[in-house]
Chain A
């Protein structure tokens, strides 16, 4: 198949403003959706769904959240895990207080709680930028994690100090808790991730996305064009934290099935920041690439030796995995500091004009 736009003339602005203006891109998206919606659930076994796909989608969602803030609006945040935790604990409290309401409603609502907390910790962003803002969000991270440990009300005074996910159903089929099937959990996660990715794409391609990027690229000029800095930045914090909050709720309810506050530690924040940077700041596709590289690749590497019949000790495999992933990250950053998304873009551009590059 040729990746070409020749012969595809755009006759109106709506067509030109489409997120995927080229036919081949549309086909690509359709293929990916079919793969995700039909092929993977049919072909994949329970292990593949629960250990690879569900976590990958959840990480991609959290990366999109952080990318909206850091990649699109230029506000560096280390509080991602904290905001995810707010989502998870909010969802837990909501579903234990109002067990009758559908869990999906609570998962999405918990994002609103994270958004409110995000806005609060985003307030300093009017005055401080860059590393100083990162330090302020770090304070948020530590404060929130402290709350998750020290406020027993949040985990319903469980002796374990952890969230214990109850069984909740959708149309009579369990989606959370020990009886939920991997297929069901996968479909719920996938549905939410597709929906929120579509919304994020709409936001960044319109007025709001342009305001965010304007603030990121040249805040003085943005302000003199009538873009109010504080509301724009706070909106970025709100939307970003909403995504992180939903990702956090999904993580606990549809992946782990229970969680200690330790899950929402600073390490998790860094992991998602890596995904965003490797994938590409300011790219939604990049968020998926980043999540794949950082989460899926190590799994593949760990599984590879036994697949090809090599007999290496588990510890050695673990060390090798770390080294290979680390080396790859550095390699990609040297080849393309703007992340995998840019590499993908450049590749597509080359394909478009291939074989005559001039």
Chain B
């Protein structure tokens, strides 16, 4: 797997994605209210907050699944009032889901191969023949996918339909599918939820390796504070759809508003 090409304008440490004054409402429910933060190239950025704080909604805004009523999103120097899923995907944003969203009827291999769809160019004619250029392309991408499979240590389940896999492995396959897109920005929605200690440690290792080996920028939602403090470079804290803190883990940990939010001080 190659590290994604460094975009001309964005080098490590620069702002890769900026969210400014974003507000999102569902009817009367205010999921996100006037939130601004940025994600720098190469960092691991944690988004934390109590249940219903708007974390998942924020990821959905970033990759264009939800369209905010107000605010701007700047990705790789281009400012938009809303993202579109196709644009987000083709510009290099990949994600995993809070409740695994794999293609249940397909094998591990096909799931991860599906992550290569945007990179495959051969049109309908060659696909009908599945020979010549179409086969060459298929093999080329299969090689990349096999590297991902090795990296995630899931060789044994290559040909298993993912619906039959245990939850922990499904989460791993889903990470593999996102990695197959060779994203510049990887959004992980609670990648360790529901895992046992050993699985969590594996997943932490994979996340750190992805970040360091491929230089992938990662935004991570996680409830386990130990994990957040260990993994992330900077943390943004949401509560009831508002940003209440933003900074390095130590700052955030000692922030009074964050402590109150987590201990449940009445408002």
Q: Give residues in A with beta carbon < 8 Å to B.
A: 12-14, 17, 199, 202-203, 205-208, 210-211, 213-214, 216-218, 220-228, 235, 282
Contact = CB atoms under 8 A, between A and B. Distances in A.
Interface string B117-129: 1101010100111
B195 to A, nearest CB: 20
B130 A206 contact: yes
Interface string B80-91: 000001101110
Interface stretch (B41-49, B108-116, B200-208): B108-116
B105 A203 contact: no
B259 interface: no
Contacts of A225: 89, 94, 114-115, 117-118, 177, 181
B90 A226 contact: yes
Given A206-B130, A224-B88, A226-B90, A13 B142 contact: yes
Interface of B: 63-65, 85-86, 88-90, 94-95, 97, 101-106, 110, 113-115, 117-118, 120, 122, 124, 127-130, 134-135, 138-139, 142-143, 146, 177, 181
26 contacts: A12-B139, A14-B139, A17-B139, A205-B130, A206-B130, A206-B138, A207-B122, A210-B106, A210-B113, A213-B110, A213-B114, A214-B106, A214-B117, A216-B103, A216-B105, A217-B102, A217-B104, A217-B105, A217-B106, A220-B65, A221-B101, A221-B102, A223-B65, A224-B89, A225-B94, A226-B85
Given A203-B127, A220-B101, A226-B181, 12 more contacts: A12-B139, A205-B130, A206-B130, A206-B138, A211-B114, A216-B105, A217-B104, A217-B105, A224-B65, A224-B94, A225-B114, A226-B85
A206 B106 contact: no
A235 B123 CA distance: 12
B142 A224 contact: no
Contact of A223 (B86, B110, B181): B86
Given A202-B130, A217-B103, A207 B65 contact: no
A206 B129 CA distance: 10
A127 B126 CA distance: 30
A221 B97 contact: yes
Contacts of A203: 127-128, 130
A302 to B, nearest CB: 37
Nearest to A228: B86
Contacts of B113: 210
A224 to B, nearest CB: 5
Q: What are the nearest 7 A-B pairs in CB distance?
A: A226-B89, A202-B130, A217-B103, A226-B118, A221-B101, A223-B85, A13-B142
A52 B117 CA distance: 42
Contacts of B86: 223, 226, 228
Contacts of A222: 103, 114
Contacts of A202: 127-130
A12 B128 CA distance: 22
A218 B104 contact: yes
Contacts of B134: 206
B136 to A, nearest CB: 9
A235 B118 CA distance: 16
Q: Which of A223, A225, A235 has the most CB of B within 10 A?
A: A225
A12 B106 CA distance: 22
A210 B88 CA distance: 20
A330 B118 CA distance: 42
A206 B127 CA distance: 7
Contact of B101 (A213, A218, A228): A218
Contacts of B135: 14, 17
A303 to B, nearest CB: 38
A216 B102 CA distance: 11
A302 B113 CA distance: 48
Contacts of B106: 210, 213-214, 217
Contacts of B129: 202
A214 B180 CA distance: 15
A39 to B, nearest CB: 28
Contacts of A214: 103, 106, 114, 117
Nearest to B181: A225
A15 to B, nearest CB: 10
Q: Which of A207, A208, A210, A217 has the most CB of B within 10 A?
A: A207
A310 to B, nearest CB: 45
A220 B99 CA distance: 12
B190 to A, nearest CB: 16
A14 B101 CA distance: 29
A118 to B, nearest CB: 15
A80 B113 CA distance: 31
B128 A207 contact: no
Nearest to A200: B128
Nearest to A208: B127
A12 B117 CA distance: 22
Contacts of B105: 213, 216-217, 282
A183 to B, nearest CB: 29
B128 A199 contact: yes
A17 B65 contact: no
A203 B134 CA distance: 11
Nearest to B134: A206
Contacts of B146: 13
Q: Which of B85, B94, B122 has the most CB of A within 10 A?
A: B85
A210 B120 CA distance: 12
A207 B95 contact: no
Contacts of B64: 224
A207 B117 CA distance: 6
A243 B94 CA distance: 35
A250 B63 CA distance: 47
Nearest to B115: A225
